[in-house]
Amino acid sequence: MGNDAAAGADEDGRHGGLSRQRVLAAALDLVDREGLSALTMRRLGTELGVEAMSLYRYAPGKTALLDGVVEALFLQLEDRLAQEWETAAHPDTAGPGWRAELQRIALITYQVCLDHPESATLIFTRMTEVPLARWAPAVLRDHERVLGVLWDAGFAEARAAPVLRAITAWVFGYVSVDLRAMVDNPDEPDPAFRLGLYRMPFQDLPRLRATAPALAEQGGPEGLAAGLDALLDHLTGGQG
131 or 8, which is more confident? 131
Residue 7 scores a pLDDT above 90: no
DSSP codes joined into one string, the chain: ---GGGGGS-TTSEETTEEHHHHHHHHHHHHHHH-GGG--HHHHHHHHTS-GGGGTTT-SSHHHHHHHHHHHHHHHHHHHHHH--S--S-TT--S-HHHHHHHHHHHHHHHHHHHSHHHHHHHHHHHTTS-GGGS-HHHHHHHHHHHHHHHHTT--HHHHHHHHHHHHHHHHHHHHHHHS---S-TT--SHHHHTTGGGS-TTT-HHHHHHHHHHTS--HHHHHHHHHHHHHHHHHTT--
Angle made by CA atoms 206, 209, 122, in degrees to the nearest 5: 130
Residue 219 scores a pLDDT above 80: yes
Residue 90 scores a pLDDT above 60: no
Fill in the amino acid letter for 19. S
Domain that holds residue 231: 67-236
Query: Poorest-confidence range of 27-36, 76-85, 212-221?
Result: 76-85
Q: Please indicate, yes or no, if residue 47 is contained in any of the structural domains.
A: no
- pLDDT for 180-192, tens place per residue? 989 999 999 999 9
Q: How large is the average pLDDT for residues 228-240?
A: 83
Q: What distances in angstroms separate CA 10 from CA 20, 73, 198, 231, one per listed residue?
A: 10, 23, 57, 45
Q: Please indicate, yes or no, if residue 228 is contained in any of the structural domains.
A: yes
Q: Please indicate, yes or no, if residue 54 is contained in any of the structural domains.
A: no
Residue-level pLDDT at 84: 76
Q: Please indicate, yes or no, if residue 41 is contained in any of the structural domains.
A: no
Alpha carbon distance 138, 109 (integer Å) = 13
Residue 11 scores a pLDDT above 60: no
Q: Please indicate, yes or no, if residue 29 is contained in any of the structural domains.
A: no
Residue-level pLDDT at 237: 74
Q: Please indicate, yes or no, if residue 34 is contained in any of the structural domains.
A: no
CATH number (domain holding residue 93): 1.10.357.10
Number of domains in the chain: 1
Alpha carbon distance 152, 235 (integer Å) = 17
- pLDDT for 94-127, tens place per residue? 447 999 999 999 999 999 999 999 999 999 888 8
Q: Please indicate, yes or no, if residue 2 is contained in any of the structural domains.
A: no
Q: Please indicate, yes or no, if residue 39 is contained in any of the structural domains.
A: no
Residues 6+ apart with CB under 8 A from 53: 45
pTM metric for this prediction: 0.83
Residue 165 scores a pLDDT above 50: yes
